Amino acid sequence: MEEKNNGMDIVREIADKKYEYGFTTDVHTDIIEKGLNEDVVRLISEKKGEPDWLLEFRLKAFRYWQTLKGPTWGHLNMPPIDYQDISYYADPTAQKTSNSSKEIDPELMKTFDKLGIPLEERLALSGMAVDAVMDSVSVKTTFRERLKEKGIIFCSITEAVHEHPDLVRQYLGTVVPYRDNFFAALNSAVFSDGSFVYIPKGVRCPMELSTYFRINARGTGQFERTLIVADDDSYVSYLEGCTAPMRDENQLHAAIVEIVVLERAEVKYSTVQNWYPGDKDGKGGVLNLVTKRGHLRGRNSRLSWTQVETGSAITWKYPSCVLSGDGSQAEFYSVALTNNYQQADTGTKMIHLGKDTKSTIISKGISAGRSQNAYRGLVKVGKHADGARNYSSCDSLLLGSQCGAHTFPYMDVQNPTAVVEHEATTSKISEDQLFYCNQRGIPLEDAVGLIVNGYAKDVLNKLPMEFAVEAQKLLGVSLEGAVG
Amino acid sequence: MLEIRNLYASINGKEILKGINLTIHDGEVHALMGQNGAGKSTLSNIIVGHPAYEVTQGSITFNGKDLLSMSPEERAHEGIFLSFQQPVEIPGVSMNNFMRAALNAKRKAQGLEPIPATEFLKLMRERRKIVELDNKLANRSVNEGFSGGEKKRNEIFQMAMLEPTFAILDETDSGLDVDALRIVAEGFNKLRKPETSALVITHYQRLLDYLKPDIIHVLIGGQIVHTGGPEVATMIEESGFDQFIQEA
Amino acid sequence: MICEHSASVLNDIREQAFVDFQRLGFPTQKLERYKYTDVAKAFAPDYGLNLRHIDIPVDPYEVFRCDVPNLSTSLYFVVNDRFYDKALPHASLPEGVQVMSLAQAATENPHFIEKYYGRLARTSKDGLNALNTMFCQDGLFIHVPKGVVVDRPIQIINILRADVDLMVNRRVLIVVEEGAEVKVLFCDHALDDHQFLATQISEIYVGENAHLELYELEETHVKNHRFANTYVDQQRSSTATIDSITLHNGLTRNRTDVTLSGEYAETRMYGCVVADKQQHVDNNTLIDHRVPNCQSTELYKYVLDGEAVGAFAGRVLVREGAQKTISQETNANLCATDTARMYTQPMLEIYADDVKCSHGSTVGQLNEQALFYMRQRGIPESEARMLLKFAFVGEVLDSITLEPLRDRLHYLVEKRFRGELSKCEGCKLCK
């Protein structure tokens, strides 16, 4: 009992701890008026100087979106979103004096420096190229020249539309069609910026590619769109990070990530999501409503999703894989941590269509405070997917008696040669382990961090080194003292 | 009894056996020795018809019949028995039901009626004593929760029940302590009849001291590189397999 | 018209049920709990309803001889929705124990029935509950008073019998009072080659320290549609074992909801499904841990052949404050053909931290190594497959504590796997 009291004190202490990335950047930002209608869609397209086919794509999506209602099936208590009270475009790079050369505002450089994302190549982490996106616009993409030598295209999707229109047109919306779901339709209508990656045949991308997303402006939503195409026999590892300032209103983030993996190609996609989670009373925070999907089109292609989700007031995302290519392999590794009033409903879909396809799902949920954390996943084996294999393991760890941990796996098997296995356990953090650590002189909060990191290790190990370290720290910070 | 001619075989497209010739006459015990990966288990699996292995060339006849065209169960009915290197556990299937199904299938193939229940139970009781298995055996699931030694004794017990004319012991000695080895080997010897033959696969001389094979073959790289009498086991024990590599 | 032929206690909530049904209609597949079964489609054909309660001439003792060898039970019949009271068994039940027509009980002892009827099976949330309550005229009532132990199992044969396609709305109410013990075995049979649609709502109360074993065995035919909702409420330190076995059917949806209302109660839920052709079996369960210190175990196994469709959705809910809950849920399935389809959805929803909960779910095939091992021993492949399937569901059958019933089921399941009718000789039901 003694320890429990200690625990509660620490909870109080830590609950007041500040979200480290909660500052705002004071830069002139070109924000269009709040509200959403066809004119806004046209305005966004115009601002980006888009070709007609793309405007058409947006308008079709918008008209379809108007016929839809927001989904209600998540294990989430979602505040109603007023889609007319959001600005759909905010450009922090717009200069007061129009049309001067596109030099980056030093304030922006400072912001990304502060976030640990240096945009000057000489300062950059070796071996990582970064596309930095603030609000609706890509601020800068580093190492582009070096990548270009190998034929790799890494730029913002806005630039890609202009410079590589055929590639974008060929693949955009083919993995996540605008009719896919409510938020996909919304994103397709108003998406602003995001990254575009193309790895040509036979090329192994020599460095990690990374996009850093930042919401800054007040009252805006971020609707980024990322498209990654890995051509035959290519390889790329891609990282995504995100933060937002502390605001007491909810900010909307509705992104789409599409990945196309061709013959024998391999893509690793890692996310460390640390959007502002709201304060300790559940006020504010980002609504993270994302559609991510990869299509393993080629034979023996591989895709792995790794995600560490610690931020956002609400997380609603299911990075998925469609395994069409025979012999393709997909993996999903996830750590989702919720504290205070955070809610997460996350998981994956593995759709086995090709023969001898294999998928692995490892999910680790950690709930603390008054948070709700749900794993939701679908494993589907189609009629023709002979020899399909899936193994899923979903564990939940509960810290505190007022949080919830839920597991909703769906399995739909139509092929007799398939083997699909699912295991799940839910338990609380072991008092014996805590005591053991205490006895060895490790303070309670460190012990919790230690044990949680151990628990999440299978997933953290899948992250690239730089990210793994960051993710570990993040887990500690988000959780400290959450045991009570 | 068993005649293998110019046998080539592969698994998952990888060639393991490269031209095996082997003849075993009635009443003979042969031993097959070789290092890991030489193809010993492949050969035993092919003789009993494991579906994962593909015979690309050659023939195997058993008492004059073409073995390769038969299903695994038909081969068993012909009198071939394999004591598995790693017997699989079959939860939920009791030894009783398992042995009864096996015995009756064989009797059916021979045109006999199913064995009467009392006679069957008596046979189970008698035969398990040969390998010193206790009376709980009948209701336990096949191999489930058996220790390594028990599994091997269970293999010999099944051999006693089915009375094969040709038995293959695939590393039956692996993982056994001295006592278990003695029980297994003595059990096997008790079951021998003048006309039955066997192929014993092993790394070590230990088991062969008990079983006293007539002929010993050395298998290296998918080929039999040396054939000789009991002295071969001693040669291997003293100087290893390298001495035969030149012969190949 | 329904009211004229029914007791007032049953009529009291009929009107509300009607209002609820008008609002709810037949459950659609958009509802999470009805995702895997198209209810409206099953109800679409024209079924006759025997609202006037005209006697259907049948002597169940004549047609039913499928007794379980060595199992001595108190045997009762429910023909369509009516309790058959013509020739009650001579076997004497312990004093105070009642096994009788629900309608009769509702007339004779309305105050007692009122306390329990329609309390667990709410009409406001489930269209089928509303429908059944709206039409219900009779069914079965079992009452085991405080402290009474009924040694001899009570066996109920549900017989569907008609000259036209028929819809039957049957009701079951079982009250097991404090410290009492009872074993109840239901066997579902369909007698005629007509389309039947039976809804059955069971409400079962298990009092403090009471022990209930409930077995439900369905052996009907491909033209039969069964919608059975079973609600169980468990008080402190009670135990309930619920076994549901589907061997022959057309379309079946079983919903089983257990509420653990008192601490230290324990639930064991088992299910076994063998289906082929175009059979459809959907088991939907909820175990609701409302209080601390309860335990639940759930194990369902399916073997699907032909074009059969199997669905299992099992939700374990651990409410806030239900500390020290221990719960384990397992669903394992074998699909034998590429036309059979299995949906499985085990769900854990947990709002308390000091719990041990797990679930596991698999869809797969027979162990190839074991198959080969058996063939090496001379067992023909088909026989080996049969033995392995049998071993697979054996885990569920072995949970049955009534030994003669367990042996009988072993026999029936084995026959089923051999492709023979899993029914016994000598009874008209099997023709």
Residues with Cβ within 8 Å of B45's Cβ and at least 6 positions away in sequence, in order, are B52, B53, B82
- CB-based contact C379 B73, cutoff 8 Å: yes
Chain B residues touching residue C373 (CB < 8 angstroms): 84, 87-88, 90, 142
Are A311 and A242 spatial neighbours (Cβ–Cβ below 8 Å)? yes
Fold classification of B2-245 (topology level): Rossmann fold (3.40.50)
Residue A478 placed within a domain: no
Residues B197-222: what's their mean pLDDT? 90
* pLDDT score of C6: 76
pLDDT tens track, chain A, 484 positions: 333 333 333 333 433 445 667 677 776 677 778 888 888 899 888 888 889 999 999 999 999 999 988 887 777 888 888 888 888 887 776 554 434 345 666 776 676 676 666 666 544 555 567 777 776 666 667 777 888 889 999 988 888 999 999 999 999 999 999 989 999 999 999 998 888 999 999 999 988 888 887 777 777 778 889 999 999 999 999 988 876 666 667 788 889 999 999 999 999 999 888 888 888 888 888 888 899 999 999 999 999 999 988 888 889 999 999 999 999 999 999 999 888 888 999 999 999 999 999 999 999 998 988 899 999 999 999 989 999 999 999 999 888 888 888 888 888 888 888 888 888 888 888 777 777 777 777 777 777 877 888 888 888 888 877 677 777 777 777 765 555 4
Are C341 and C309 spatial neighbours (Cβ–Cβ below 8 Å)? yes
3-class DSSP state of C238: coil
Q: What total of structural domains would you count in chain A?
A: 1
Q: Which of B50, B73, B91 sits opposite C378 (nearest CB)?
A: B73
- CB-based contact A422 C346, cutoff 8 Å: yes
Domain hosting A347: range is: 29-431
What interhelical angle do C14-24 and C127-135 show, nearest 10? Answer: 140
How distant is the alpha carbon of residue A323 from its chain centre? Answer: 21
Q: Which of C369, C375, C387 sits opposite B93 (nearest CB)?
A: C387
Per the DSSP assignment, residues forming a β-bridge with A352 are A323, A381
B105 interfaces chain C, CB cutoff of 8 Å? yes
Chain A residues touching residue C352 (CB < 8 angstroms): 398, 401
A378 interfaces chain C, CB cutoff of 8 Å? no
Report d(CA B207, CA B184) in Å as an integer: 9
Among A414, A417, A448, the strongest candidate for a mutation testing the C interface, having the largest count of C CBs within 10 A, is A414
Residues with Cβ within 8 Å of B42's Cβ and at least 6 positions away in sequence, in order, are B9, B11, B16, B17, B53, B222
Residue A473 placed within a domain: no
B51 interfaces chain C, CB cutoff of 8 Å? yes
Beta-strand pair A30-31/A90-91: antiparallel
Task: State whether the Cα torsion C32-C36-C39-C40 is positive or negative.
Answer: positive
Domain boundaries, chain C: 3-430
Residue A213 placed within a domain: yes
CB pairs under 8 A between B and C: 77
Report d(CA A388, CA A355) in Å as an integer: 6
Element (H, E) at A434: helix A431-439
Domain boundaries, chain B: 2-245
Chain C residues touching residue B158 (CB < 8 angstroms): 377
Report d(CA A251, CA A213) in Å as an integer: 14
> What confidence category does residue C420 fall into, taking pLDDT thresholds of 50, 70 and 90?
low
Residues with Cβ within 8 Å of B150's Cβ and at least 6 positions away in sequence, in order, are B133
- How many C-beta atoms surround the C-beta of residue A159 within 10 A? 18
Q: Which of C344, C348, C355 sits opposite A406 (nearest CB)?
A: C348
A74 interfaces chain C, CB cutoff of 8 Å? no
> pTM, whole model, 2 decimals?
0.79
Nearest alpha-carbon partner for C129 in C81, C158, C169, C89: C169
A434 interfaces chain C, CB cutoff of 8 Å? no
Q: E strands within C191-318?
A: 196-206, 211-219, 224-234, 239-248, 251-260, 266-275, 280-289, 295-304, 309-318
A 54-73 residues with CB below 8 A of C?
73
Is the pLDDT assigned to residue C431 strictly greater than 50?
A: no
Nearest alpha-carbon partner for B170 in B218, B204, B202, B217: B202
Residues C2-12: what's their mean pLDDT? 79
B107 interfaces chain C, CB cutoff of 8 Å? no
A397–chain C nearest CA distance, Å:
8
List Cα–Cα distances, C81 to C108, C132, C295, in angstroms: 19, 11, 34
Residue A436 placed within a domain: no
Residues with Cβ within 8 Å of A215's Cβ and at least 6 positions away in sequence, in order, are A134, A135, A222, A242, A244, A245, A251, A253, A275, A286
> What are C289-347's pLDDT values in tens digits?
999 999 999 999 999 998 999 999 999 999 988 989 999 999 999 988 888 899 998 88
Question: Virtual CA dihedral for A160, A166, A172, A174, nearest 10 degrees?
Answer: -160
